[in-house]
Amino acid sequence: MDLTWSEFERTDMRVGTIIEVNDFPEARKPAYQLTIDFGSEIGIRKSSAQITVHYKKEDLLNRQIISVVNFPKKQIGKFMSECLVLGAIGKEGDVILLAPDFKIENGLRIG
């Protein structure tokens, strides 16, 4: 089913900077718990991301990423995910994060 332009426009994708990374041992698949700064308009959000194949915790800290920030919160075990971190999914299920090429202001909208 095709997506209409108005439906796409309702998807709020923003640039954010990862400010904290923690292991998520309770997750069914290997994942990290991320705390992401989306600037003054959106604020700080948390997310769970299955990105352990290509990324170490120390490589993620202060890295900018792209996330959808207007999905409903999702309970993952005892953790509440507040946004969806975007990435390309490889054939083996490994994820490569989507990110801006240059450091830009947190909270900028993706269009």
pLDDT of residue 69: 98
Q: Tokens 């352990």 — which residue?
A: 52
How is the chain classified by DSSP, letter by letter?
-PPPHHHHHT--EEEEEEEEEEE-TTSSS--EEEEEE-HHHH-EEEEEE--TTT--HHHHTT-EEEEE--SPPEEETTEEE-SEE-EEE-TTS-EEE---SS---TTPBP-
**pLDDT exceeds cutoff 90 at 57:** yes
Overall size of the chain counted in residues: 111
Average pLDDT for residues 22-49, to the nearest whole number?
A: 96
- Give the chain's end-to-end CA distance (angstroms, integer): 21
Residue 111 pLDDT more than 90?
Answer: no
Q: Place 1 in a pLDDT band, splitting at 50, 70 and 90.
A: confident
**Residue 101's pLDDT band (boundaries 50, 70, 90)?**
very high
Please give the model's pTM, rounded to 2 decimal places. 0.94
Segment 13-29, tens digit of pLDDT = 999 999 999 999 998 89
